[in-house]
Amino acid sequence: MYNDFKSLGLSKWLVEALHSMKITQPTIVQKACIPEILKGCDCIGGAKTGSGKTIAFAAPMLSNWSADPSGMFGVVLTPTRELAMQIAEQFTALGSIMNIKVALVVGGDDIVKQALELQRRPHFIIATPGRLAHHIMHSGEDTIGGLRRVKYLVLDEADILLTNTFGKDLATCLSVLPPKEKRQNLLFTATITDQVKALKEAPRVEGKPPVFSFQVEDLDCLAIPKALKTEYLLVPEHVKEAYLYQILSSEEYNDKTVIVFVNRTVSAEILRRTLRLLDVRVTSLHSQLPQKERTNSLQRFRANAARILIATDVASRGLDIPAVQLVLNYDIPANPDTYIHRVGRTARAGRSGESLSFVSPKDVSRIKAIESRINKKMDEFTKVGDTAVIRKALTKVTVAKRESLMAMDKEGFGEKRKQQRNKGGIKRANKALETKNK
């Protein structure tokens, strides 16, 4: 049986690289998938966040690449910039002694610089589908030619990539890669959706070994951590900021690391600015932040320079954020599985953790759906009382929020996205008129 990385069949240099990073014992998903990928099988791997999925696909790819380290060898697609950066860091660290060349191709970075980097034929491309699709459509054959000969395609967080949101960009990316029978296809996810299952059940490609599929059933990929305390607090919508501030500044939580999840980018920005005016060490992570700021926010939170991270669901999947003590759902997600991914940011690696959900009257049906999905009733949170919130927090929070909204309005926060939406609407209207006039 497989006891270490050497027994899995990896190259000696890679085993040594893993050991130098103090990674000596393969996880369940690594033991299952690495030998099959080394044999040439397409692979579908299902395991929860933090179970070692990145090494499960990176290690066999690097091991095979090292036998002939030339040209573009593999493409890894993932839904968010932060995940792409994290994966690129792991590939670079693992392959550093072999002079590996890794290109990070994500939105927010210099597109000309990326095109030049792709022209130099990096060994591995870690990308978000939208930015790679842009290069395919606009950067020319010198830039994308090497993609036509890659040996591996990885879809990380495959359940998200296979949704309609990424459909068009993903199709563009696939259009320049070798056909599926001439490349190895590796799909990794924490959620085995119907779209992922359909790929597993697709007809076998002649001349290729059967698709290997593995799911960590005994860990239940979408179960909440056993050491997680789940609570709710009924909060009137118009005073949610005051309750949040009172909890974060209370004796119980004033030194704990907290991720506060919201459903909208504008909510994340309002809360970040409001809490900062109230002298809370806070940062944020959402899609309207420039890439440099998104990177800095994660680094500040990881280094404990900020103890509160206000985030949209770009932070709910895959990111390596250690030692979070409380996950607070400021907004309740529409999908119960999203709730599970959010609260999975805490109570990891055997540690305990808490999750608290703010519930307004409109959220009751969502909470019931979540409780049904996790097969557990939430307890009522009792550490903050109404009188305390009104007396201590409401007035100063209201003033800070007003200042934040005025600053955002002055800076035109969200205007760029609004203009893009308006442009999209005009384009759709013109297209509809053209169709009608034909």
Q: Is the pLDDT of residue 111 over 80?
A: yes
**What pLDDT, on the 0 to 100 scale, is given for residue 218?**
44
Tell me which DSSP letter residue 381 carries: P
Residue 250 shares a structural domain with residue 214? no
Average pLDDT, the chain: 87
pLDDT tens for each residue of 347-401: 766 678 899 999 999 999 999 999 999 989 999 999 887 777 777 789 999 999 9
**What pLDDT, on the 0 to 100 scale, is given for residue 429?**
47
333 conformational bin, left if phi > 0, alpha if psi -120 to 50, beta if neither: beta
CA dihedral of residues 129, 156, 191, 339 (deg, nearest 10): -70
**What pLDDT, on the 0 to 100 scale, is given for residue 426?**
45
Q: Structural domain tally of the chain?
A: 2
16 domain-assigned: yes
**What pLDDT, on the 0 to 100 scale, is given for residue 415?**
64
pTM score, two decimals? 0.74
Instruction: For residues 270 and 159, give the distance between their C-alpha atoms in angstroms, rounded to a whole number.
Output: 30
**What pLDDT, on the 0 to 100 scale, is given for residue 434?**
56
Q: Do residues 118 and 134 lie in contact, with contact meaning Cβ atoms separated by under 8 Å?
A: no
Q: Is the pLDDT of residue 299 over 80?
A: yes
Q: Report which listed range, 45-54, 391-400, 409-418, is most confident.
A: 391-400
Reference 46, options 248, 229, 273, 220; nearest CA is 220
Q: Which of 192, 219, 246 is the last residue of a domain?
A: 219
Residue 348 shares a structural domain with residue 319? yes
Q: Is the pLDDT of residue 117 over 90?
A: yes
Residue 198 shares a structural domain with residue 334? no
pLDDT tens for each residue of 192-221: 777 776 766 666 667 778 888 887 654 444
435 domain-assigned: no
Q: What are phi and psi of 47, to 5 degrees?
A: -160, 150
User: Residue 179 is part of which domain span?
Assistant: 6-219
278 conformational bin, left if phi > 0, alpha if psi -120 to 50, beta if neither: alpha
The predicted model gives 187-194 an average pLDDT of 80
Residue 382 shares a structural domain with residue 286? yes
Strand partners, 329: 261, 357
Higher pLDDT, 294 or 39: 39
Token digits of residue 107: 């939105």
Q: Is the pLDDT of residue 68 over 70?
A: yes
CB environment 411-433: b (16+ within 10 A), e (fewer): eebeeeeeeeeeeeeeeeeeeee
